Structure 1
Amino acid sequence: MRPDSTSHDAPFEVLRQVTLTAGLSSNGAVPIRLAENDLWRLPEGIVLRIARAGQSAAAAREVAVTRWLATQKVPAVRPLDLEQPVHAAGRAATFWEELPPHQSGTPADLAPLLRRLHDLPPPSTVPLGLMDPFVRVAERIAAARCIGGDDRRFLTARLGELQHAWVGLPAGQAPCVIHGDAWGGNCAVTEDGRRYLLDFERVSLGMREWDLTSTAIAVDTFGTLSEEEYRRFCTAYGYDVRSWDGYPVMRAVRELRLVTFALQTADQNSGALQQARYRLACVRGRRGPRPWRWEAVG
């Protein structure tokens, strides 16, 4: 199906309205990813990001953050020089410069970029807000249609336990600007070896351990990263979050988020149901010790 067809399929219709409002054409647009946020490649080196409904403030903040990062010489995607976000069809849309041909980075590629971000002084002109490790978790549990009452009660109780444990976390490294969704897919490496950070929707002020745990659970939970690869990540960053006493709690919070994200995805795509149920069984203690070999959803 072409984006310039007469189809009223929802993503294409939103694309049409957004580009029309921005004074652009949707002709020739190619979907990059249609998920919580819709990403499109437009002609002339433009990437369009259409946020989910209700995320106008987050979209505006993402543009402000990346413009601030440009002043700090941090390698990152850059927004186009126009008034953003653009609003249409009840959604907020932002427009970005397309990167040269690239692939997702390794943890060792990501680590120095994270270190550079974490070492920055917080901006005085961009209201980042404080990190919220539990954002949308309760809503996902309540909305999940693919689980029964027993699983819902377990997840609700688990959320309460972890919220309580979070308050008692031991001191970690100095708080800083964090990425919030720091994984290899949000690091791009171009053919000439340049590295860029992507996706600043969850940038905030908080614990750098939150960013570092994203890579640690690739070893502990997903089993997709070897100990040697993880060691290279820690060496490149200069710290191993697994040596911190609060790591088990932070890992458990990350896992709960990943379970509820899988449940949300399974409600929209039955192909994710098996993985969602498997993740839930793991955190309920029914699939043995880690690593659980979780697979990607969405």
Structure 2
Amino acid sequence: MSSIEDSHSLLLEACAAVGLSAAGAEPIQIGENALWRLPRGVVARISRPGQLAAAGRELAVTRWLRDCGVPAVRPLAHLRKPVDVDGSPVTFWHELPPHRPGTAADIAPLLRRVHELPIPELALGILDPFVRLAARIDGAATLEDAQRQWLRDRLIELEKAWLGLPPGLPRSVIHGDAWRGNVAVTPTASYLLDFERTSLGPPEWDLTATAVGYGTFGTVSEREYAAYCEAYGTDVMTWAGYPVLRDIRELRVTCFALQHAAADPARHRAEAHYRLACLRGENGRRPWGWTAVG
């Protein structure tokens, strides 16, 4: 989303197309995806251009979760498909009651419920943990040639390791972006959010998000991580395949930071290149104390 003005223009067109009022619309978040608060307890989500299929899948997933009794954000019932505005899909949701951000222990039982559900007859697709990585490496303008080649080689190495993962938990529906920011807690319930990356894959992929917050970022405390493992029922860090999933996630968040560094070097170059140096073994053992980018 290039600007709040561009986002608002898309919002007005989408609302007009479905007969919803955009009077007094308030921006909640403007980024790769944009969220707007509309009258009558409605939230509009504007996704990145080219994500029409993903937005439609997200609507289908949340309706399926509702039918399964899993608390999650709910789309407006009468709008079954995203609105396509100049290639940007727009979806409409019921606003959650007043809530606080979730903790690691809040998301764990919700993930377990999702992982235990029977696989639905939905076109979810298979998890691709390497999506957009090659493009982000190629587009990382702050890299030197040797750094870029190291990342390309690392990507190839991890793609091979992914194919050789040892046995683990049974394949299931996975959330795909299962960090604590994607759970909202009200006085009466916890709700899962953001199903853009929901797919079929190893449940350990979801569990690794919090494990990396603990073991790599250092943003999840030892007590929080212990509560997370207890709430889910297992510790993914004890699984033989964990180092591969950890390394893939570390590469993903490093490439994400490099993408931001290319757009705004003054703000993000230092963090992005610190992460890269960590991956290359130049900053000692984990946790590395990485800070948020975005």
Q: Deviations over 1:94-152 (max 9, x none)?
A: 0000000111111111110000000000112x111111111111111112222221111
* Within-5 A mapping of 1:1-298: 9-81=5-77, 82-124=79-121, 126-190=122-186, 192-270=187-265, 271-298=267-294
Residue type at the aligned position of 2:272: A
Distance 2:24 2:142 in 1: 37
> Matches of 1:29 and 1:278 in 2, distance apart?
39
Local SS of the residue matching 1:211? helix
For residue 278 of structure 1, what is the amino acid of its counterpart? Y
Q: Which has the higher helix share?
A: 2
Query: How far apart are the structure 1 equivalents of 2:28 and 2:256?
Result: 20
- C-alpha contact 1:87 1:93 (8 A) present in aligned 2: yes
Cα deviation, residue 61, structure 1: 0.4
The two structures have a TM-score, normalised by structure 1, of 0.94
Whole-Å Cα distance in 1 between the matches of residues 280 and 11 of structure 2? Answer: 41
Runs of 4+ in 1 over 6 A off after TM superposition: none
Deviations 1:4-32 (Å, cap 9, x if unpaired)?
xxx99322222222222232333211111
SS in 2 for 1:9: helix
Structure-2 separation of matches of 1:78 and 1:273: 38
Q: What is the distance in 1 between the residues matched to 2:114 and 2:141? A: 38
1:34 shift after superposition: 1.2
| Distance change in 2, residues 1:8/1:156 (3 Å) | closer
TM-aligned CA distance change 1:111 to 1:46, over 3 Å: same
Which stretches in structure 1 are left out of the alignment for 5+ residues? 1-6
RMSD: 1.4
Q: Distance in 2 between matches of 1:265 and 1:47?
A: 27
| TM-score, with structure 2 as normaliser | 0.95
SS at match of 1:287: coil
CA distance in 2, matches of 1:157, 1:257: 14
* Alpha-carbon spacing, 1:79–1:250, altered in 2? closer, same or farther (3 Å): same
Which deviates the most, 267-276 or 218-227?
Answer: 267-276
CA distance in 2, matches of 1:290, 1:160: 23
Q: Could you report, residue by residue, the CA deviation over 1:235-294 in whole angstroms, capped at 9, with x for unpaired residues? A: 110010011011111100000000111111222334222211211111111111110111
What is the SS of the residue equivalent to 1:32?
strand
Q: Percent identity?
A: 57
Q: Partners of 2:65 and 2:244 in 1: how far apart?
A: 31
Q: Tell me which amino acid in the other structure corresponds to 1:75.
A: P
Q: Which amino acid aligns with 1:11?
A: S
Asked if the contact 1:223/1:291 (under 8 Å) is kept, the reply is yes
**How much does 1:168 deviate?**
1.2
Secondary structure at the residue paired with 1:44?
helix
SS of 2:200's equivalent in the other structure is strand
- Quote how far apart the aligned CAs of 1:166 are: 1.1
TM-superposed deviation, 1:229: 1.2
SS of match in other structure, 1:47: strand
Q: Which amino acid aligns with 1:141?
A: I
Find the aligned partners of 1:177 and 1:11 in 2 and give their Cα distance: 32
CA contact (8 A) 1:17 1:89 kept: no
